[in-house]
Amino acid sequence: MLRRTLHERAAERPAWMKIRLRDQATVDDVSEMMRELRLTTVCEEAKCPNLFECWAERTATFMLMGEVCTRHCGFCAVAKGDVQLLDPHEPAHVAEAVERLKLDHAVVTSVNRDDLPDGGARHFAATIDAIRQRRPGCQIEVLIPDFGGSTEALDLVLAAAPEVLNHNVETVPSLYKRVRNGSDFERSLGVLSRAARARPGLIRRTKSGVMVGLGESREELHETFLALRVAEVDVLTVGQYLQPTAKHLPIERWVPPEEFAEIRDEALGLGFLHVESGPFVRSSYHAKRHVEGES
């Protein structure tokens, strides 16, 4: 009964979690372009609370390789089931969208594709190359899966030289089985450590993100931040977990803005170059400024 009461209380969204809508006309314009180019965005598929803010500013996070994921994470709104064949035109379409939006910083992510021998690494590399050709000078950030721990797949992406290599650990190790079933905390750290060794020749920054409000303790968060620093992660994002549907993991706690500020100061004290910490923070939120390491 107590646990149920806590979940019911958590379902009541506090005042600081209210979303302010932006320019609907611009949002509609971006949406129309995405449909025209048959592109998928994580903004829509993951039900990101910042969609209206980002699209009103004509920026979006592109999601490669379809709308269906091969893993079954308890927190994620992206669909699970039968995956789709890769669209060979998708890299060119993403590049066209980057050009039409006049982006100076493009963020590209994907679903997990454990069905592919390289996990989709070549598709990432092709997209990076296509953006470089279409929009020279645009900074490219890739938010990648763990590729099943394949160093060969990771090296394919690193060789394409994105400015930022992002891979989210998402939560603390003790919650992995419940939150990220099929993933492994140490494997994710290995991805980030290998990427860090590609600096500065191939990439400029490594980056990772964590959700809070899933039942983790502050001590566990601190230990996770320390592990990320050992892996030489440069940029950290910390945001509130939001339950996409009733079938997903419940929100255990709403973290207030003042605690996010404390978390930010704590993480900066550990040596991260930049920390984005707040209720609505997601991996690509204010991503452009993460490259420069501004705090």
Place of tokens 């089985």: 177
> Higher-confidence residue: 50 or 186?
186
* 181 neighbors 72 (Cβ within 8 angstroms): yes
Give me the sheet containing 164-166, strands edge to edge.
61-64, 105-110, 139-143, 164-166, 205-212, 235-240, 274-278
Strands of 213-270 (E only): list them: 235-240
Give the closest residue to 146 by CA, choosing from 177, 189, 115, 117: 189
pLDDT tens-digit map of 10-32:
457 777 666 665 556 656 666 67
Determine the straight-line distance between the first and last CA of the chain, rounded to whole angstroms: 43
Q: Is the pLDDT of residue 38 over 70?
A: no
Q: pLDDT band at residue 253, thresholds of 50, 70 and 90?
A: very high
- The string of pLDDT tens digits covering residues 64-94 is 998 888 988 888 877 788 888 999 999 999 9
* Mean pLDDT along residues 37-47: 56
Domains for the chain: give ranges and CATH numbers.
Answer: 2-290 (3.20.20.70)
